[in-house]
């Protein structure tokens, strides 16, 4: 299943579940090359909860793709990692 998160953004609960499967924090999946990151978040010390709120408000900041299989997830960068994961 493919989730187009820009059309159907995840909730905080969705992100918490994904982050648990990834073994990562919300700040670790933020796309730091996005303009919105530079404009609003660069250089700020933010808690995980603040990052969750930012990712829900600005889903373009969520690193992609994220592949989920059962109770595990993988950040698909580089894409070759996806084949190994599946």
Residue 48 belongs to a domain:
yes
Give me the number of domains the chain comprises.
1
pLDDT one-digit tens code per residue, 5-43: 888 889 999 999 999 999 999 999 999 999 999 999 999
Residue 3 belongs to a domain:
no
pLDDT-based confidence at 76, cuts 50/70/90? confident
Q: Is the pTM of this model over 0.85?
A: yes
Residue 2 belongs to a domain:
no
Place of tokens 């900041």: 61
Domain enclosing residue 29, as ranges: 12-85
Task: Kindly state the average pLDDT of the residues 44-56.
Answer: 96
Mean pLDDT of the chain, nearest integer? 91
Residue 66 belongs to a domain:
yes
Q: What is the CA radius of gyration of the chain?
A: 13
**Residue 1, pLDDT score:** 60
The CATH number given to whatever domain includes residue 80 is 3.40.30.10
Cβ neighbours of residue 69 closer than 8 Å, sequence gap 6 or more: 85, 86
């Amino acid at each position: 299943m493919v989730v187009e998160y820009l059309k159907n953004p995840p909730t905080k609960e969705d992100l918490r579940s994904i982050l648990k499967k990834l073994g990562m924090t919300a700040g670790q999946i933020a796309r730091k090359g996005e303009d919105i990151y530079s404009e609003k978040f660069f250089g700020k010390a933010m808690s995980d909860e603040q990052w969750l709120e930012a990712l829900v408000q600005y889903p373009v900041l969520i690193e992609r793709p994220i592949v989920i299989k059962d109770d595990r997830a993988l950040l698909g960068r580089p894409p070759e990692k996806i084949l190994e994961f599946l």
